[in-house]
Amino acid sequence: MQTLNVGAGRTDKEYKEAEEQRRADLRAESQSAANFFFWAAGLAALGTGLLPIRLNVFVSIGALDLLGSYGRSLGPTYFIVLHFAAAMWVIILVALGFVGRTSHRWAFLAGIVLYGADMIALVVTFSIWAFAVHAVFVFKWFQGQKALKDLNEPGVSTF
């Protein structure tokens, strides 16, 4: 029985199997976290009025709320600009979701930066519930990027 210095009495084959399992778990965790981009896009569409039903108590986009408050000076193009910005927000989130599912760490980091900046706007507009929803997404995307970071570092086991 050949043993390595990496595990207590594990053979080379057992070590490789454990490493394969760890990598599969990390890959599954990152893809699960990437699915939260799609949840965020759906909730953003629900909270911004892109869908027939609007629910903006728990779901709100701070940047769009600020645009709604201060954008009235745009005149007749106000509603077009507001809906265009909401549609772009949703499209960006869906695109980040697809990119994140292909194991690109930068998609998670972009989502964290995007929603982190929007969390500042939510504090300005006193949307505490929406801030909490944003915080959940930021946390899940942080976990996803950490899983991809650990996946790209061979032989590193994190707890």
For residue 157, is pLDDT > 80? no
pTM equals 0.83
How would residue 2 be classed by pLDDT, with cut points 50, 70 and 90?
A: low
Model pLDDT for residues 82-92, shown as the tens digit of each residue: 899 999 999 99
Any idea where the domains of the chain sit in the sequence?
Answer: 20-152
Instruction: Write the Ramachandran bin of 153: left for phi over 0, alpha for psi from -120 to 50, otherwise beta.
Output: beta
For residue 1, is pLDDT > 60? no
d(CA 93, CA 37): 6
- DSSP sequence for the chain: --B-TTSTT-BHHHHHHHHHHHHHHHHHHHHHHHHHHHHHHHHHHHHHTSSSS---SS---HHHHHHHHHGGGGGGGHHHHHHHHHHHHHHHHHHHHHHHHTT-HHHHHHHHHHHHHHHHHHHHTT-HHHHHHHHHHHHHHHHHHHHHHHHHSTT----
What pLDDT is attached to residue 93? Answer: 96
